[in-house]
Amino acid sequence: NSNILEVNKLKTTFFSRKTPFNAVDEISFHVAKGETLGIVGESGCGKSVTSLSIMGLVKPPGKVSGDEIKYNGINLLELSKREMRKLRGNEISMIFQEPMTSLNPVYNVGDQIGESLKVHKNLKGKERKEKVVDLLKQVGIPRAEEIYYNYPHQLSGGMRQRIMIAIAMACDPKLIIADEPTTALDVTIQAQILELMKELQAKKGMSMILITHDLGVVSEVCDRLVVMYAGKIVETGAVKDVLSSPSHPYTKGLLASLPKKGHKEKRLNYIPGQVPAPINWGKGCRFSDRCPYVMSKCHTDIPLLTKVKDGQESACWLTVEEGRRAPNDTIEATS
Ligand code: SF4
Ligand code: MG
């Protein structure tokens, strides 16, 4: 099998309200070995819940169900908490958005990197320290022997994110899930961190899931992407196909809100409206409130993912019924 991960009909339900809702609503996708898959969407689309579900980190009142989350042939949904802990940080690891909240302020960064080497690889003393220093060098930290003894607050945001990457990489995982790894950083540092992740991934032959709201980041780093909207996948395909000829109106809207060439300032455009709250998902297409092509059918029936071309699928009635992409005079992003 050439896939490191196969997710089938993943469903993550939260029971905190009177009416339970599925933050992730039967989504299926795969990640090939050595591939980087982007998961894209605005906040509230279920991207982070998807990654936490894979990692076994959804806490009650949340519950993960679905057919399977198959990692390297093992269905993660059938593993015990203990078995899952053995995998996490070892075979699959995660990089979060805000390093300051994920790092422990009272331990030096060297010891924090060494922690998973202790837990998973039983490395001790000098051997562990050498490995940590080596990791610090691999993630481009200068004066590694010295920085080892620094505390998180002594480092810049970019350096802290490098520490997080070192922690994630410590045990040579086969799959890394990075959730908005560069969102909190300024643009220059963001580019450096993405470059580093790309480089390490190629060098180690890891697979990666990169979660982001930013299609610009996806075009830099990913091979394929999945676009999520309100708990569902609405489009998927190779990055070059989807970005050059997006099919779903939501993908088109995301693309239209990217800053144009020559406009370096932060983006001002966005798709009018908001991701609906789960209680307002209704029966039909969940994008219907914001979609310029909405038809009466869209309000009553939810479209399934349908092939647009080889490897590219879109969940939109324009594709399902009329076999076409959304028109090119697409969503006017407003400012
Ligand atoms: Fe728009 Fe209808 Fe397509 Fe949904 S199904 S994206 S509302 S055209
Ligand atoms: Mg998120």
Per-residue pLDDT tens digits for 201-224: 999 999 999 999 999 999 999 999
* Dihedral sign for Cα atoms in the order 158, 192, 54, 229: positive
Q: What is the pLDDT of residue 263?
A: 55
Contacts of 184 (CB under 8 A, 6+ apart): 97, 98, 99, 157
Ligand 1 contact, 291 CB (< 6 A): yes
Q: Are strands 312-314 and 232-238 parallel, antiparallel or unpaired?
A: antiparallel
Ligand 1 contact, 288 CB (< 6 A): yes
Distance CA 76, CA 18 (A): 29
Taking the centre of ligand 1 as the mean of its atom positions, its distance from the CA of residue 314, in whole angstroms, is 10
pLDDT category at 334 given cuts 50, 70, 90 is very low
pLDDT category at 150 given cuts 50, 70, 90 is very high
For residue 232, the ligand closest to its alpha carbon is 1
Ligand 1 nearest-atom number relative to CA 250: 6
Distance CA 49, CA 154 (A): 31
The tokens describing 91, both together, are 């075979």
Q: Are strands 36-40 and 207-212 parallel, antiparallel or unpaired?
A: parallel
pLDDT category at 280 given cuts 50, 70, 90 is confident
Share of the chain above pLDDT 70, in %: 94
Phi and psi angles of residue 150, each rounded to the nearest 5 degrees, phi first = -80, 155
Per-residue pLDDT tens digits for 93-137: 999 877 667 899 999 999 999 999 999 999 999 999 999 999 999
Ligand 1 contact, 294 CB (< 6 A): yes
Ligand 1 contact, 295 CB (< 6 A): yes
Full-model pTM: 0.92
Q: What is the pLDDT of residue 333?
A: 46
pLDDT category at 335 given cuts 50, 70, 90 is very low
Q: What is the pLDDT of residue 183?
A: 85
Ligand 1 contact, 318 CB (< 6 A): yes
> Which of 296, 297, 317 has the most ligand 1 atoms within 8 A of CB, as the residue to mutate?
317
Residue 161 has pLDDT above 60, yes or no: yes
Taking the centre of ligand 2 as the mean of its atom positions, its distance from the CA of residue 122, in whole angstroms, is 33
For residue 179, the ligand closest to its alpha carbon is 2
Taking the centre of ligand 2 as the mean of its atom positions, its distance from the CA of residue 86, in whole angstroms, is 25
Domains of the chain: 3-229 (3.40.50.300), 248-335 (no CATH)
> Which of 235, 275, 316, 325 has the most ligand 1 atoms within 8 A of CB, as the residue to mutate?
316
> Which of 234, 318, 322 has the most ligand 1 atoms within 8 A of CB, as the residue to mutate?
318
Which string of DSSP letters, residue by residue, matches 145-186? Answer: HHHTT--GGGS-HHHHHHHHHHHHHTT--SEEEEESTTTTS-
Ligand 1 contact, 287 CB (< 6 A): yes
| Range of weakest confidence among 50-54, 67-71, 243-247, 262-266 | 262-266
> Which of 247, 291, 299 has the most ligand 1 atoms within 8 A of CB, as the residue to mutate?
291
Residue 327 has pLDDT above 90, yes or no: no
